Structure 1
Amino acid sequence: MDTLNTDIFWDIAAQLENRDLASGARVCKQWLPVTQSHLYRHITIDSASKHVHALGALLFAREDLRRLVRHLTLCRLFGMGRWLSSMYDWLLLLPEQSLVSVDVKMEDDYAFDILMDFPCVRNARQLTIRKPYLLNREKAARILASPYLESLAVCFEGLPAPEGPIHLKRLSVVAEGMPPQLPQILEANSTSTPLHRFDLRVTTQPNDREVAQLFRALAIHAQSLTRLAITSSERITRIPFMDDFILSLPSVQWLCCAYGTYTSTLLLRIPSSLHTLVLLWGLDGSVLVRDPHGIGFIAGARPENIPFPSANFAQTMRRMSPTGNASLRRLVIALPKLLRDPCQEVAAACSDAGIRFERVRMDNPVLDIMDRN
């Protein structure tokens, strides 16, 4: 197979499912290196899979296949059974800096704690931790201090304050409340490694002092941020700080604003770099509003909390469109499940401005701050 055909086959193989890649590997010897590279590039270890034992044994026995692994996903792993021990055996054989990404959703703290002892896992460039584990402070500090770590998406509040500079290009945090060490982590992140993405999702309302501390630390990286997401199911604060903070985000391309952080004034201040704006409309249950598609009333947010969806917001959208200063191409509105507002006025204003309008629910994947996009 000549070089040109190899390049074409490589691109084709990248689009194939594993079953098709496995079939291609059996077609001819010339295809084998390409198909194997794609088959073993991303490995998922899942206790629910009937092939997990065979996969662990194969990777332990075959160094040539083991060195192809770059992305590792671990899920539903628990205890210290025989199959889990065999999985650890081959991980110990991986070079320290071989893994690009590790995505973890294990079932207990013990299995996770052991996993963090492996150099290949601890030194991955991208680490996603999807459950709130009880990780001891020393191990958490070692993860954060890894000189190779560029992207950290974490679902627990046990991150310690850094003892030295860190080098993150992306930081995503899911926590019950505002993690007290989060401002210190942002301040410790070296400006020589620009922070391009910051995501935060909290499930309980932080106080205004915690929010102010966070945004003072985040302001250090405002010039480099290309993606910023602040999400919550409750009102973040009574001060709509995103109206002002957006003025310091000259490079932001994707922005998600939580309930209570913005007003319609935000639309008049968006930078020319912004192409996607996601707005969360919270539900504080403080008033009853008539259900337009049912009988009676449902709990709703006070109209004065966020002027959306309303004639005020639609009018602001129409005021924004003639200026021609913004490159906004997509407006996404995230609504609580109970809310059935059709958003007709805002949708019409977006249509007039040539902006794609989407209405999603609060649990929509577009709001998943753990994704790698």
Structure 2
Amino acid sequence: MNRAEVERLRAATPGCARVIHFNHAGASLPSQATLDAIREQLQREALGGPMEAADQSIQARARTAAATLLNTVPETIAFASSGSAAWGMAFNALGPWQTGDRILVGRHEWGGNLACIARAVSAGAQLEIIPCDETGAVSVSALVQMIDPKVKLIALTWLPANGGLINPAEAIGVVAQQHGIAYFIDAGQALGQLPCDVQALNCDVLKGAGRKFLRGPRGTALLYIRQGFMKRLKPTQLDVFSAPWDGEGFALRNDARRFESSEVSVALLAGLANALEECNGWGVSNIRQRIDSLSRRLREQLITIPGLTLHNLGLADHQSGLIAFTLKGWDSVELKQRLAQHGINIGANGVAYTPLDMQARRLESIARIAVSYLNTEEEIDVLLGNLGEMARDDGV
């Protein structure tokens, strides 16, 4: 992306004029067009009736745009209220779990996913952690050694929440496919940040929230289910939409919408549709290049700040736009709050978000910068200047 394109993006994003936003991994800044799409749908509902204004073409647009993003067909896409809800619905539909069933996860697995898995463990399943390689990523060779007929699921958080690691999702997909093992990918930080081709990933289930790098509204998420895997999933909650009456009984839909219900926020989906179309229009490969360029520069300069420690995992030349760090003398939440006083947004994560990894690295909390293609070099300089002042305030 050139400078003129970035300026055009920022001019179309109202929040860019009010705040320096480096919390895109939490929730990004929506465009004015996305806001307008939500507002216009709400207005139609208010003036003509919410049920009467439920235009099916909006959902079709969102589903088609999501399918384009993931290189799949619309029938494999369902919408949910959050990424955690989407993952939980798919996981719970994979049961029932039996004593001796094995679930393999990376050390970096999202806490919400682990909370779901805990119920399977209480039913007798075993949760096992795939060892890391020398870079801190999930080790594919170690995974291969763990495979046996009792492995029922491999779950991977592709881009962990507490750093720039990009796990080898495609290589793990090859292993899962070779052995016929269900493979779930948490792509919450990947969607809208780097290309996500479900055909290349060989995953059975993939989920991600709309609010992060996709720049969609909160309360939206995507759930992809491979067509050939659909019959293995039996949703635990049904209604007349997901299992319509066929004249003789209630029959499950034969597409991913078996995980949806008749109640949906059309306004939020209108916003999500616009955000997805904008992402596809810019091209995720272009977005990835921009984020990579900015985050590389930022990492190089952060390490020059006295007392600041980066908590990177993975290959140095293959990182996401998430940068985890601590600053000597500063609690991560207090650091976040101080920057907010200067109009700079970042994130701060505790152990609960990625408990296995945080405990393994003996980290109680981290501050997190998340770079987007909306950010500029000038914003990076302001952030660095403020962090430098904070380091000096502590007398480091």
Which one has a bigger Cα radius of gyration? 1
**For this structure pair, what is the TM-score category when the shorter chain's length is used for normalisation?**
under 0.3
How does the TM-score come out when normalised to structure 2?
0.24
Larger % of helix: which?
2
Query: Structure 1-normalised TM-score?
Result: 0.25
Using CA pairs below 8 Å that are at least 6 residues apart, which structure has the higher relative contact order?
2
